[in-house]
Amino acid sequence: MEKKEYINRAEGVMLHVYNRFPVVFDHGNGMYLYDTDGKKYLDFGSGIGVMALGYNVAELNQTLKKQIDKLTHTSNLYYHVPMIEAAEKITKMSGMDQVFFTNSGAEAIEGAIKVAKKYAYKRDGHAGHEVVAMQHSFHGRTVGALSATGTDHYREPFYPLMGGVSFAEFNDFDSVKKAVNENTCAILLEPVQGEGGIYPADPEFLQEVRGLCDEKDILLIFDEIQCGMGRTGSLFAYQKYGVKPDILTSAKALGCGVPVGAFLVTEKVAKNSLEPGDHGTTYGGNPLVCASVSKVCDLMEKYQIPNHVKEKTPYLEAALDKLVQKKPWLLGRRGMGYMQGLILDSSIPVGSVVQKALDNGLIILSASGNVIRLLPPLIAEEKEIDEMIRILDKIL
């Protein structure tokens, strides 16, 4: 079928909440995607940071096929083996103690907020607690997660949102201190802000926020939905910073293509927050997605994915810095590991660059602040980095 025809059919029946790029993808392999016309694309977006191991990973496909033939769903009224294995592996890898599996990132945030509220409820003997989140953050589109997302234009049409959220300036400890009061139950932040424009936290900022949380018995929530699972060159960004949260959220690359998220907590939080009846999900952590999480954990370890990212990052950064030197429209680079942003001159809309890259067979993403966002599969090697740079060089 003609691409135009596919797109017309889609627009006839799909709610128009995305201005989609005019491409119809058909299949993928490794670092590449192929559309229905057979055109090949080098992928430096990985489906917004999801396909960390690339496309069509034979070992993962085998696991999923086997699980489909065995059991895909039981509900959370019962145990199943993939749930146990996935939970053991992800708690071990993340250094956290207990996990709750969700269907998405936003739901992981919702759960994290509920944990913090319940913790404070038990601490103080009453409800009415508040969350401090950061400006330019992104935590998802459900009402609770949106309430903690620091971007006005995402929020405004949906007021009133969940109350009791105040916003502080990212990387500004004084503004966090000012936002905290005796009712604060949690401080929520991304160690590396993604949608907001690829802003890594300053190490001292995270240390100071951790100190404040300890002093006031406030829970620190790190949203590692985008920056976790090896993307920064360690399994979780917090491990790189050496600042441990009380609650950690994951999703995106956690299932490498199956819809799964998670919030993880320390033992102290597990023992003093949610109890039977406080939270639940029908699908969350079903046998199919847990088989995937479990295998993704195995493959991350087997192929030493975080280490690979750590080793190749200097090459990627040097190549991007060279491009910034060469192109007057590129004002700088920010990022960590395989999560990089190129700041584009405001006279050039980033969407036009993303479209032009696509025309030239390269998938890239954008982020707030006119930023070109690169989230390649974590398996990217020098030769794919070179190819990406060649195309960016040409179109800029």
Ligand X SMILES: *Cc1c(COP(=O)(O)O)cnc(C)c1O
What are the residues binding ligand X (CB under 6 A)? 104-106, 109, 138-140, 190, 194-195, 223, 225-226, 251-252, 261
Comparison of 140 and 144: residue with beta carbon closer to ligand X = 140
**CB of 102 vs ligand X, minimal distance in Å:** 9
**CB of 259 vs ligand X, minimal distance in Å:** 8
How far apart are the C-alpha atoms of 231 and 227, rounded to whole Å? 6
CA distances from 338 to 261, 309, 366 (A): 20, 7, 15
Comparison of 82 and 150: residue with beta carbon closer to ligand X = 150
Comparison of 211 and 280: residue with beta carbon closer to ligand X = 280
- The radius of gyration of the chain from alpha carbons, rounded to an integer in Å, stands at 21
**CB of 275 vs ligand X, minimal distance in Å:** 25
How far apart are the C-alpha atoms of 100 and 111, rounded to whole Å? 8
- Coil, helix or strand for 310? helix
Comparison of 226 and 340: residue with beta carbon closer to ligand X = 226
**CB of 192 vs ligand X, minimal distance in Å:** 9
Comparison of 32 and 190: residue with beta carbon closer to ligand X = 190
Pairs from 46-49 (Cβ < 8 Å, separation ≥ 24):
46/253, 46/375, 46/376, 46/377, 47/257, 48/226, 48/252, 48/365, 48/375, 49/194, 49/226, 49/231, 49/252, 49/253, 49/339, 49/375
Q: Which residue is nearest to ligand X (CB)?
A: 105
**CB of 86 vs ligand X, minimal distance in Å:** 17
How far apart are the C-alpha atoms of 289 and 286, rounded to whole Å? 6
Joined tokens for residue 21: 């790029």
**CB of 314 vs ligand X, minimal distance in Å:** 25
Comparison of 224 and 384: residue with beta carbon closer to ligand X = 224
